[in-house]
Amino acid sequence: MINVSSGSRYYFRILDTRPEGPAESLDVVRDTVIEDVKLLKAMAMLEAQASAYHDRTVQEGITAVADALELQVQWDKTVTRTEMRQKDKSLDPTFNLPEIRNAILDAASTLNPLDSMEELGKKPESVVTVLVPSLKGLVVSQLQKWKPMTIEAFRQSAVTIATRARSNKTGGAQLDAFSFESLSERMGYEQVRNPDDEDMDESVDDDSSNDPQS
C-alpha cells in the first residue's frame, strides 16, 4: 500500500516475482537496452552541445533560444543553496535539485550584485548550463539578479540559524533538554543496573532479631 499527499491509497497485488540477477538472454531486455543506449547517446550529444547553448543564450537571450527550440521559459525562480522556489513561493517541483541550485549559486557568487539586469545579462557568467541525468536533459538558466546575504540579515537570522544547527546536531529530532536521556548524556551518567530489576540488596537487618531474649 502507498499513501500519497492527495489522500489516495494505492494497493498492489504481486502476481509473480523473478530472482535478482542477470537476464536469461538479450532478447528479454532488448527493448530496455535499446532505450538506454539511445538515452546515453542523447545525453552525450547534449553535453557536447552545452557550450554552444551557453554562448547562444549569452548572445541572443534565453527567450530567443527557447523560442527557436519551441520551449517555454520559466521565469521568476528564487534559488538558494537549500531550495528553489517559484513565484508563488512554493517549492519548484521539477528543478529543485542540488546540482542545479549549486551551479547557479556558484555562478552568482562571481557576479557583482550592484549590476543592473541589463549589465548582468551581457556577462557570460550569468548563463548556467547543467546536464541533469535525472531529468534526461540540459538545463539552461540565465540569472536576472542576485542578492548576497548581508551582515545585518545574518544577525537577524541568528536565532533561526542556531535553532537549525542544534536540530541538525541531534539529527532533526525534537528532544527535551531536561529529559532523562538528555541529562544522562550531558552529565555522563552511567546506569549500573536496570531499575526494573528486583532489589539486589535483600540483606536488610531486622532489629527485632537482635533483641536479647528474656
pLDDT at 214: 39
Q: Residues near 56 by Cβ (< 8 Å), separated by ≥ 6?
A: 65
Q: Please state, in angstroms and as integers, the Cα–Cα distance from residue 77 to each residue in 27, 52, 86, 93, 117, following that order.
A: 45, 24, 5, 12, 15
Percent of residues, the chain, with pLDDT higher than 70 = 83
The pTM of the full predicted model, rounded to 2 decimals, is: 0.60
pLDDT, tens digit (0-9, with 9 covering 90-100), for 14-59: 899 888 888 888 888 899 999 999 999 999 999 999 999 999 999 9
pLDDT in tens, 110-155: 888 888 877 887 789 999 999 999 999 999 999 888 888 788 877 7
Domain chopping of the chain, boundaries:
31-147, 149-187
What pLDDT shows up at residue 55? 94
Helix (H) or strand (E) holding 71: none
pLDDT at 170 over 70: no
Over range 59-86, report the average pLDDT: 90
- Going by their DSSP bridges, the two strands 78-79 and 127-132 should be labelled as unpaired
Quick one: pLDDT at residue 31? 92
Helices (H), 24-130: 26-60, 62-68, 98-108, 117-121
